[in-house]
């Protein structure tokens, strides 16, 4: 049986929406295609997220992209990607600023030496600043991971708010399996501590160069001996890091959401170590 053809990708100079032309296809997600594009109004490049051609009739995918666009247009923060415009008809198209940096996942994997603890603390401060802001606006990100962070000229910006929701409307079990908090993986109630877990897994990977839970936290919960957490021996078994720093990052990865620090507590510790 012949496999269905992959959805078409726009070519150079194809019109994506009025005033926006494709330069190059950047990546493809489950629902969207992301393009490097040209904005005629701004006379500059931009990034465009649009629904894949095979997902344009999918109501939930359309609603998610519209919701992401409306949220980003309402957010104004130096460590959150900026949205320029949301085109809603005939199909939703989200226009974002172009970021010239690299993802934190690429930054971690592309180095021959691991990031300095002060660099990871600096990254964490920017991340805490952004997440604290969206929490005050009544939203959770719930998909924090190194590939959703862009490092640019010493600044970190959070991208991809496709799953961002208000706490009571956050769908359980969604997210990237390797980075899910236990309450997400177990389809339990999700609140701000889920984003503290997300910050923790980013900082853990920044310090050690490896994901905290490569097979996902559900497998770790099943395999960990009673009373042993994290199951891999923790940060100090992988590299030399100031004890309070390692302990605070690991505290973000506590199984019980109530046992994790809040963002203000985490920020205080990171501030101590960001100066080196």
Averaged over 182-198, what is the pLDDT?
Answer: 91
Last residue of a domain, one of 96, 116, 137: 96
Check residue 175 and give its pLDDT: 79
What percent of the chain shows pLDDT beyond 70?
Answer: 92
Are both 121 and 222 inside the same structural domain? yes
Asked if residue 1 belongs to a domain, the reply is: no
Are both 107 and 54 inside the same structural domain? no
Asked if residue 2 belongs to a domain, the reply is: no
Are both 90 and 129 inside the same structural domain? no
Using DSSP's 3-state secondary structure scheme, residue 126 falls into helix
Kindly state the tokens that stand for 224: 């960990």
Asked if residue 5 belongs to a domain, the reply is: no
Q: How many CB atoms lie within 10 A of CB 226?
A: 5
143 is catalytic: yes
Are both 107 and 85 inside the same structural domain? no
Domain that holds residue 123: 102-274
Higher pLDDT, 7 or 162: 162
Higher pLDDT, 269 or 7: 269
| Per-residue model confidence as pLDDT tens digits over 122-174 | 999 999 999 999 999 999 999 999 999 999 988 999 999 999 999 876 666 67
Check residue 167 and give its pLDDT: 87
Four-residue CA torsion sign, 22, 23, 24, 28: negative
Are both 72 and 178 inside the same structural domain? no
E strand or H helix at 35: strand 32-39
Asked if residue 264 belongs to a domain, the reply is: yes
Alpha-carbon span 101 to 147, nearest angstrom: 12
Check residue 271 and give its pLDDT: 96
Which residue from 50, 195, 97, 94 is spatially nearest to 137, judged by alpha carbons?
195
Averaged over 203-223, what is the pLDDT?
Answer: 85
Are both 59 and 23 inside the same structural domain? yes
DSSP annotation of 48 reads E
Averaged over 52-57, what is the pLDDT?
Answer: 91
Q: Residue 233 above 90 pLDDT?
A: no
Check residue 112 and give its pLDDT: 77
Asked if residue 6 belongs to a domain, the reply is: no
| CATH number of 27's domain | 3.30.200.20
- Plot region of 179 (φ>0 → left; ψ -120 to 50 → alpha; else → beta): alpha
Alpha-carbon span 133 to 121, nearest angstrom: 18
Are both 140 and 62 inside the same structural domain? no
Are both 226 and 127 inside the same structural domain? yes
| Strand-pair category, 32-39 with 44-51 | antiparallel
Residue with tokens 């390797």: 178
| Per-residue model confidence as pLDDT tens digits over 55-111 | 999 999 999 999 999 999 999 999 999 999 999 989 999 999 999 899 999 999 887
Asked if residue 8 belongs to a domain, the reply is: no
Catalytic residue among 13, 14, 36, 143: 143
| CATH number of 203's domain | 1.10.510.10
Q: Residue 45 above 90 pLDDT?
A: yes
Number of domains in the chain: 2
Last residue of a domain, one of 27, 61, 96: 96
Last residue of a domain, one of 50, 68, 96: 96
Are both 19 and 49 inside the same structural domain? yes
Are both 143 and 270 inside the same structural domain? yes
Check residue 170 and give its pLDDT: 60
Averaged over 189-208, what is the pLDDT?
Answer: 95
Are both 77 and 114 inside the same structural domain? no
> Based on the number of CB atoms within 10 Å of its own CB, is 175 exposed (0-12), middle (13-18) or buried (19 or more)?
buried
Start-to-end CA distance of the chain, whole Å, equals 59
Work out the mean pLDDT of the chain and round it to a whole number.
90
Check residue 147 and give its pLDDT: 94
Asked if residue 66 belongs to a domain, the reply is: yes
Are both 49 and 24 inside the same structural domain? yes
Kindly state the tokens that stand for 118: 């002060």
Count of helices and strands (H, E) across the chain: 8, 9
Check residue 172 and give its pLDDT: 60
């Amino acid at each position: 049986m012949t496999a269905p053809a992959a959805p078409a990708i726009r070519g150079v100079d194809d019109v994506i929406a009025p005033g926006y032309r494709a330069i190059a296809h950047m990546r493809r997600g489950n629902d969207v295609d992301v393009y490097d594009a040209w904005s005629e109004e701004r006379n500059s490049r931009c990034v465009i997220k649009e629904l894949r051609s095979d997902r344009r009739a999918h109501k939930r995918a359309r609603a998610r992209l519209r919701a992401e666009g409306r949220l980003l247009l309402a957010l104004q923060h130096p460590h959150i990607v900026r949205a320029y415009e949301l085109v809603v008809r005939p199909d939703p198209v989200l226009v974002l600023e172009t970021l010239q940096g690299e993802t934190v996942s690429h930054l971690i994997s592309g180095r021959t030496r691991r990031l300095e603890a002060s660099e990871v603390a600096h990254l964490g401060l920017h991340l805490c600043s952004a997440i604290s802001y969206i929490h005050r606006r009544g939203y959770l990100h719930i998909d924090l991971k190194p590939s959703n962070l862009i490092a640019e000229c010493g600044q970190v910006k959070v991208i991809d708010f496709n799953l961002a929701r208000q706490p009571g409307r956050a769908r359980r079990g969604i997210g990237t399996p390797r980075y899910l908090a236990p309450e997400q993986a177990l389809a339990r109630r999700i609140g701000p501590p889920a984003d503290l877990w997300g910050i923790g897994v980013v900082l853990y990977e920044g310090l050690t160069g490896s994901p905290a839970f490569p097979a996902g936290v559900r497998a770790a919960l099943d395999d960990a001996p009673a009373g042993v957490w994290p199951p891999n021996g923790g940060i100090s078994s992988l590299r030399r890091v100031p004890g309070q720093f390692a302990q605070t990052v690991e505290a973000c990865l506590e199984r019980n959401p109530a046992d994790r620090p809040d963002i203000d507590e985490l920020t205080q510790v990171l501030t101590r170590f960001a100066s080196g």
